Amino acid sequence: MPLPETISVRFTEEDAGYVTVRPVVKQMFRLVELADMVVSVTGKNVSRVQQILRTGTVVYNGYRYWWDGFPSNESEVTGLLALFPDDDPSRPFDPAQVTAVSLEIGGGTKRSLVTITSSEASPKKLYNKRSPWESCWRPRKVQRRATRSTPMPIARISISRIPLPRRLPRS
């Protein structure tokens, strides 16, 4: 039986620690969209991806997603994972190609994601030597092991992690 093209997925905010009533949203996902979420959690591990597709549940970005699980064979999952680029720690980081920065604050269900585009952060303020955008790219150690790409046509991105000190030095 081939992998389904679309999957009916339900999701809700993942809240632990107290009793809560949250709305459940139902949405149709294409197989590659669901696989993108699963790969973000498991990496390109064929057996783990098969297990999640079969059980029909994954927690991603503070939401629990579930669907009617379905069986898959190893060759189908391997073909699906071939759509996703492998991590490339040797790929050089080029600040000139960066169009946006996403800052992840908090964790678990309290995780917030703030995205700043280059056009928003490029203007220099009066009496400042650098714009906030230029300050982001002062020499920093970039963790190459976290670089990955996504095959999603909507947002073709490369992700690199740059650890920031607790307090950024004043420019």
Strands, E assignment, the chain = 6-13, 25-30, 57-60, 63-66, 100-105, 112-117, 143-149, 158-161
φ and ψ of 130, to 5 deg: -130, 155
**Selection from 16, 10, 61 nearest residue 38 by Cα:** 61
The total domain count for the chain is: 2
Q: What is the reported pLDDT for 152?
A: 45
> SS3 of 38, please?
helix
Task: Domain of residue 146: give its range.
Answer: 95-161
What is the per-residue pLDDT across 147-159, written as a single tens digit (0 to 9) for each? 454 544 444 566 6
Looking at the fold, whether 108 and 64 belong to one and the same domain comes out as: no
What is the per-residue pLDDT across 30-69, written as a single tens digit (0 to 9) for each? 999 899 889 888 888 999 999 999 999 998 877 889 999 9
Q: Which two tokens stand for residue 66?
A: 């579930």
Looking at the fold, whether 63 and 20 belong to one and the same domain comes out as: yes
